Amino acid sequence: MARPLKRFACQSCGAVTSKWSGRCESCGEWNTIVEEAAPAPGPAGGGLARAGKGRALDFAGLQGTTPQPARYRSGIGEFDRVCGGGLVVGSALLIGGDPGIGKSTLLLQVAAALARQHTACAYVSGEEALDQVRLRAERLGLGDAPVQLAAATSVRDIVATLERPDAPKVAVIDSIQTMWLDTIDSTPGTVSQVRASAQALVELAKRRGIAVLLVGHVTKDGAIAGPRVLEHMVDTVLYFEGERGHHFRILRTVKNRFGPTDEIGVFEMSDRGLADVANPSALFLAERRGHVSGACVFGGIEGTRPVLVEIQALVAPSSFATPRHAVVGWDANRLAMVLAVLEARCGVAIGANDVYLNVAGGLRIGEPAADLAVAAAVVSSLADEPVPPDMVVFGEIGLGGEVRPVGQREARLREAAKLGFRSALVPRSRAGAGSGGASRTAEGIAIDEIEHLSDLVARFQPAGRAGQRPRRERPASRGHGPADE
C-alpha cells in the first residue's frame, strides 16, 4: 500500500514546503509550520488528456441590463452602511477583530434584527454552548427574537442543514477557525481546514442564495488568521477595531464587491450591546478642550464619510541619548517623515525632544491628508501656543516642504461647518494657485490657504524664539524670499 503523501504548511501565511523548518521563509514567523496530509494527486496532465475537449465559453459584452442585487436590511444603520446598503443575497461576509471586541455581539444583534423583520436567520456557534448564547441574548434584550440557534463544528452537518428547503436565509458561523471537514486530515484551525471549510460555505451561499456571515480570528499582528486566500474567497471583509479603554468600536470595510471600500461604521458599547453613532465627529470631539497647546482638529475622510478627529502631540525634552517617538492611531514612519521635513525644510529643532502623538478616541487614521494637522500639533506643542480652537486643518506634506491639495475638500469643510468650526488651514487649491491667502466658503468658514510648511511654522511665533534654527531660503521659483527669523 502506498504511503500517504505529506506536506508542511505555514499556519500564518499558508505557504507550503517539502520539509519542516523552524522559520517560514515566506512570512518570517517562527514555529508556524505544521505537517499536513497532501491532497491526492490527479491524473497526468490534470485530467485534461483523458477528459476530452471542454465546452466552449459564451462571451458577453460590457453593455447590458443588470438588476441591482437584492439585500437584507437589518435596520442597524452603521452595519448596513459598511455593507453597502445591507446584506446581499447569496454573498459571503467575513468579519475579524481582536478577542472580546464585540464580533459575536454585533452579529447576534444583526441576526435578531433580521429575524424580527421576518427574515429567517440561523446562528451556528462553534465556540460557545447554546446556554452561553442564550445568556448573551437575554443580557442584550434579544431573548424574544426568533433566531435559530445551533452548536456545531462539522461543515458537512452545517451544509446538510442549510440545504433543506426550509433553510434560513441568513446564517452566522462563529467562527470559521473552529469548523472542520472530515475529508481533510488535519486539526481545526489549520490552513487546510480553514480554506476547505470556507470554500464549502461560500459555495453553499452562492448555490442556495443564503447570506453567510463568517467570524474570523486574528493574529497578533491584527490580520485574519489562516491563509490569505480566505479574504479573496469571500465577497466582503470587515474589521472590528477599538481600544479596550474606549466605549465605542469602529467597523471598517476592507473589501466589498457590492459597495464602497474603506467605509467605517461607529458603534458605542454599552450594557445593552452595540448602539449606532449617527454623528461620529461629535463623539470624537466630545471631550475636546480648547486652548491647549499640541491639539489640532483634523478634517478626514473615511470611505464616503467626513470625520473630524482631534490629533494630540506632546514634545518634551528627552532624558535619553536617543529621543523616543511614540505614536497611537497613526503611522510611525509618517510621523518620522513629518519631523524630518520640519527639521530640514523649516529649521524647527526637534531632534533632542521626545515626541508623543495620539489620535484621540481610538480611531486609526491612514490617509496622508493628516500630515498638516500632525505638523500643526507638533509645532503647537513645541511653541506652547495653542491652535485656534475653531480651526480645522488638513493637507499632505511633501519631502520638499510643499503642502499638497487633498481630495473631497468641500465635504471636509461642510462637516467642519456643521460642527461649528469657523476657520480652516488647508493647502492652496489648484484652481486658486495664482491667488493668495484667505477666502470664505458658502458655509461661512474662513479659508486660509498655504503652500509651504514654513507658512504654518510662521504662525507660531514663539517657536522662532524657543526651538527654531534659522530657516533655509526657499526656492526662488515659488515666488518667496528668505523667511525671517
| 383/256 same-domain check | no
| 119/253 same-domain check | yes
Q: Is residue 77 part of a domain?
A: yes
| 140/163 same-domain check | yes
What's the pLDDT at 476? 46
Helix axes 332-346, 371-383, angle to 10 degrees: 60
Q: Is residue 66 part of a domain?
A: no
CATH of the domain at 350: 3.30.230.10
Residue-wise pLDDT tens digits, 364-378:
898 999 999 999 999
Residue-wise pLDDT tens digits, 84-135:
999 999 999 999 988 888 999 999 999 999 999 999 999 999 999 999 999 9
**CA 377 distance to own-chain centroid:** 24
| 270/293 same-domain check | no
Among residues 278, 311, 337, the one where a domain terminates is 278
Q: Which of 475, 478, 420, 476 is nearest to 445 (CA)?
A: 420
Angle at 342 between CA 326 and CA 437, to 5 degrees: 125
Q: Is residue 168 part of a domain?
A: yes
Given a contact cutoff of 8 angstroms between Cβ atoms, the answer to whether 366 and 320 are in contact is: no
Q: Is residue 482 part of a domain?
A: no
pLDDT higher than 60, residue 484 = no
What's the pLDDT at 482? 38
Q: What is the 3-state secondary structure (H, E, C) of 270-289?
A: ECCEEEECCCHHHHHCCCCC
Given a contact cutoff of 8 angstroms between Cβ atoms, the answer to whether 457 and 383 are in contact is: no
Share of the chain above pLDDT 70, in %: 87
What's the pLDDT at 50? 55
Q: Is 157 or 478 the better-scoring residue by pLDDT? A: 157
Question: What CA–CA distance (Å, rounded) separates 464 from 485?
Answer: 6
Longest dimension (CA), the chain: 87
What's the pLDDT at 186? 81
| 205/327 same-domain check | no
Q: Is residue 252 part of a domain?
A: yes
Cβ-based neighbours of 235, under 8 Å, separated by 6 or more: 88, 91, 92, 93, 255, 256, 257, 258
Average pLDDT, the chain: 86
Question: What CA–CA distance (Å, rounded) separates 305 from 279?
Answer: 10
The pLDDT confidence band at residue 385, using thresholds 50, 70 and 90, is: very high
Q: What's the pTM value of the predicted model, to 2 decimals?
A: 0.79
Cβ-based neighbours of 252, under 8 Å, separated by 6 or more: 82, 238, 239, 240, 241, 262, 263, 264, 302
Q: Is 48 left (phi over 0), alpha (psi -120 to 50) or beta?
A: alpha
Angle at 311 between CA 306 and CA 313, to 5 degrees: 165
pLDDT higher than 80, residue 48 = no
CATH of the domain at 113: 3.40.50.300
What's the pLDDT at 122? 96
The pLDDT confidence band at residue 485, using thresholds 50, 70 and 90, is: very low
The pLDDT confidence band at residue 434, using thresholds 50, 70 and 90, is: very low
pLDDT higher than 70, residue 478 = no
Among residues 278, 300, 322, the one where a domain terminates is 278
| 133/190 same-domain check | yes
The pLDDT confidence band at residue 351, using thresholds 50, 70 and 90, is: confident
| 157/102 same-domain check | yes
Domain that holds residue 335: 283-472
| 264/376 same-domain check | no
What's the pLDDT at 454? 93
Q: Is residue 331 part of a domain?
A: yes
Q: Which grid coordinates belong to 447?
A: 479659508
| 236/299 same-domain check | no
| 111/213 same-domain check | yes
Q: Report the pLDDT averaged over residues 316-341.
A: 93
Q: Is residue 54 part of a domain?
A: no
Helix (H) or strand (E) holding 97: strand 92-97
Q: Which grid coordinates belong to 218?
A: 486574528
Among residues 278, 294, 329, the one where a domain terminates is 278
| 14/142 same-domain check | no
Q: Report the pLDDT averaged over residues 299-325.
A: 92
Q: Is residue 46 part of a domain?
A: no
Angle at 426 between CA 417 and CA 242, to 5 degrees: 70
pLDDT higher than 90, residue 183 = no
DSSP assigned state of 170: E
What's the pLDDT at 431? 62
| 268/289 same-domain check | no
Q: Is 65 or 383 the better-scoring residue by pLDDT? A: 383
Residue-wise pLDDT tens digits, 50-60:
556 788 888 98
What's the pLDDT at 112? 96
pLDDT higher than 90, residue 386 = yes
Q: Report the pLDDT averaged over residues 266-290.
A: 85
Number of domains within the chain? 3
